[in-house]
Chain A
């Protein structure tokens, strides 16, 4: 099993540009999570999908952030326009249940906005 796949692994972009992060969850998992990790705030849940439907997006920092899950095998997290304070590592995770169940994390995307 390939595990959770994220792309790109690294992204460097200029302030104001659009950034799209991609995630392929583990086949058969019905829950998908997007997290952001920073030194100041630690690991924060941004949004949680169940059966492709957003269940909780209260962690999405502002309207510049949006996430979609068009099917069970693909999700995107988009930042438009990007700002330097968005620089962080973004993780995608999937599980066969909700947040109380074991989540399998991808390797993360390190985003740097200059």
Chain B
């Protein structure tokens, strides 16, 4: 039973446009959320995080939005660049527990 769901296995976006990656979770006790990015044959790298006391966190081109009532978070990338083509994992956790989604593969089209 998946507690963290990324329902879109893949997403294609034109270069320069906004990429929006979505993530849903089922456990309202989760109090921290993170996004990681993964290139082929490499380990994931941390992108951005947000705690449950906030609804938005921004870092350069990356913004994470948290909607606690909907148990939904999203990652916005603006503008999208070719180097953003990768697999994106969202993760949610509480205390010492962390659960990752299965990932969404983002393709940035020229």
Contact = CB atoms under 8 A, between A and B. Distances in A.
A102 interface: yes
Contacts of A102: 34, 46, 49
Given A93-B43, A105-B45, A108-B43, A99 B96 contact: yes
Contacts of A4: 43
Interface stretch (B61-69, B71-79, B99-107): B99-107
**Size class of the contact patch on chain B:** 20 to 34
B100 A45 contact: yes
**Size class of the contact patch on chain A:** 20 to 34
Contacts of A45: 97-100
Interface string B70-93: 000000000000000000010001
A106 interface: yes
Of A50, A100, A102, the most chain B CB neighbours within 10 A belong to A100
B86 to A, nearest CB: 13
User: SS class of chain A's interface: helix, strand, loop or mixed?
Assistant: strand
Contacts of A100: 32, 34, 49, 51, 93, 98
Of A35, A45, A93, the most chain B CB neighbours within 10 A belong to A45
B29 interface: no
Contacts of B41: 107-108
Nearest to A3: B43
Contacts of A44: 100
A104 B44 CA distance: 8
A42 interface: yes
Interface of B: 32, 34, 36, 41-46, 49, 51, 89, 93, 95-103
Given A45-B97, A98-B95, A103-B36, 5 more contacts: A41-B102, A43-B89, A45-B98, A91-B43, A108-B43
17 contacts: A41-B102, A42-B102, A45-B98, A45-B99, A50-B96, A55-B96, A93-B43, A98-B95, A99-B96, A100-B34, A100-B49, A100-B51, A103-B44, A105-B45, A106-B43, A107-B41, A108-B42
